Amino acid sequence: MPKGNLYVVSGPSGAGKSTICRLVRKMLGINLATSATTREPRTGEVDGRDYYFLTKEEFLKKRENGDFLETATVHGNYYGTLKSEVENRMVKGENVILEIDVQGGLQVRDQYPGANLIFFKTPTENDLEARLRGRKTDSEETIQLRLANSIKELEYEKEYDITIINHTVEQACNELKKIIEEKSK
């Protein structure tokens, strides 16, 4: 039975991963595997669509049961990808995009060596800060934490197959779309 391709998209908060993945997913009809998290939902986010919002206890129980493909602690919250989210789709021959933390990306590669790891970043750190502030969803403390973590996350870029520098939404979408289309031939 043919299997779909697995794409792992990672990079610092504010690099545009969510926006780009959402647009490319629409263009190509690709499912974005829904991650689980213990963080609180942002305005407009829906449980089961944007994330599976779990309590810390629920998350830890699922992790203990081996239900996750990868997990990470990011900005003080747990995140993870349920194995069932990926495997059910890939068995059907569907392509799947995981939008996850850099640590999780490397965990996925260990379990799926054929996964395509794509790293997103902004042209400069100033661009990253401007994008984080432009969201108007995070406190100053959270923004500072995300900026500090982004410097650490940039060190993982060399572990990824491809880097996309998000100068504009259109350019980054076109690059990601081209990568997926070429790998799907």
Q: Please report, in range form, the residues annotated as the binding site.
A: 11-18
DSSP SS3 for 170: helix
DSSP SS3 for 43: coil
Angle at 26 between CA 45 and CA 126, to 5 degrees: 65
What are the binding residues for ATP? 11-18
- C-alpha distances in angstroms, 56 versus 17, 63, 68, 71? 25, 11, 14, 13
Q: Are 113 and 105 within 8 A, CB to CB?
A: no
DSSP SS3 for 27: helix
Q: Taking phi first (over 0 means left), then psi (-120 to 50 degrees means alpha), and beta for anything else, what does residue 48 get?
A: left
Rounded to whole angstroms, how far apart are CA atoms 98 and 104? Answer: 10
Is the alpha carbon torsion for 156, 29, 70, 132 positive or negative?
positive
